[in-house]
Amino acid sequence: MRLAVSMYSYFGAVKDGRIDLPSFIHRAKADGAEGVELLDFFYKDNGRDEEARDHDRGLAALALAETGLPVPIFSVGNNLAQSDPADREAQVDRIRFGVDEALHYGAGVVRVFAGDVREGITFEDARAWIVEGLCSGADYAHERGMKLALENHGKLAGRGEQVRALIEEVRDRTGHAALGANPDFGNFVLVDDSPADAVRAEAAFAYMAHFKDFSEAPASHEGWAFTSLAGKRYLGSCLGEGVVDLAGCLDALRDAGFDGWLSVEYEGTEDCLTAVPRSIARAKALLSGTG
């Protein structure tokens, strides 16, 4: 397995202007990552502004050349749980955009979502829309030799067995295996799923994985926190400092023969410039068996 880091891990520093796309790549190298995960989220207007996108691409290309880092993963933030067919098609277009960007950077995998709940939308309501959209996106990826990795994200399709069932149905309908899984170790606790067991349910389909941890929010915590289906409150944490059984998740991947990219994704409240390098160091220790 090889270790990347998601640009989302540095969200706080991007938000306050300390890091941009090229400096993220240089920072990832300095912090010990072997590759970088880029996201449409950090493009101006999510990449719809072609002039700005081309500018960003140029800056990224220079930084990648200077650091020697590859881009194994490009991620998009789509939501196929849309009642309006035109809105669903726009979300499939986000997947197509991700495939095109992944091809540009030489990435092999595009991280995608199914969708998330909102008022009036349940998993049962949205499942057919999600499958239809994932089939369209997977066909586009397959035609271009690309893989899609469906993340357990949100509370609509967040459990391991939900993701597995979606992948199996899409593969059955399309007749190919362009759609696989991105087991996000941390996200499983938000749907009260055992991370190691959930990863094991998806591991045979994994094309990448998110290395992430959460800690339980203390009773005294008054700020924003992630809330699970059961009402438990969590905060993002450095790897190894939370409640996720990271070693068990890695064992589940190894047992399935996974040998792809793991991407560190930090979502905590500590300054990312201190938390991310510590998380990367911890990830390396876990991968080497010394953590």
CB 38 within 8 A of CB 16: no
φ, ψ for residue 268 (rounded to 5)? -90, 180
Q: Which residues contact 50 (CB under 8 A, 6 or more apart)?
A: none
pLDDT at 291 over 90: no
Q: Which residues contact 287 (CB under 8 A, 6 or more apart)?
A: 1, 3, 250, 262
The fold adopted by the segment(s) 2-288 is TIM Barrel (3.20.20)
Task: Identify the band that residue 195 occupies on the pLDDT scale cut at 50, 70 and 90.
Answer: very high
Mean pLDDT confidence for 11-32: 97
Other Cβ atoms closer than 10 A to 231:
7
Mean pLDDT confidence for 144-161: 95
Q: What are the b/e assignments for 70-92, b being 16+ CB within 10 Å?
A: bbbbbbbbbbbbbeeeeebeebb
Low-confidence winner among 68-72, 115-119, 241-245 (lowest mean pLDDT): 115-119
Cα–Cα distance measured from residue 188 to residue 229, given in angstroms and rounded to the nearest whole number: 11
pTM of the model: 0.96
pLDDT at 39 over 90: yes
Q: Decide which of 273 and 54 is more confident.
A: 273
Report the mean per-residue pLDDT for the chain. Answer: 95
Mean pLDDT confidence for 151-163: 94
pLDDT tens digits, 103-113: 999 999 999 99
pLDDT of residue 48: 77
What is the percentage of the chain residues whose pLDDT exceeds 70? 100
Q: What are the b/e assignments for 169-207, b being 16+ CB within 10 Å?
A: bbbeebeeebbbbbbbbbbbbbbebbbbebbbbbbbbbb
For residue 50, the number of C-alpha atoms closer than 13 Å in the C-beta half-sphere is: 1
pLDDT of residue 201: 96
Domain spans of the chain? 2-288
pLDDT tens digits, 233-243: 999 999 999 99
Task: Identify the band that residue 86 occupies on the pLDDT scale cut at 50, 70 and 90.
Answer: very high
Cα–Cα distance measured from residue 224 to residue 266, given in angstroms and rounded to the nearest whole number: 16
Q: Which residues contact 219 (CB under 8 A, 6 or more apart)?
A: none
Task: Identify the band that residue 60 occupies on the pLDDT scale cut at 50, 70 and 90.
Answer: very high
pLDDT of residue 177: 98
CA angle 36/39/41 to nearest 5° reads 145
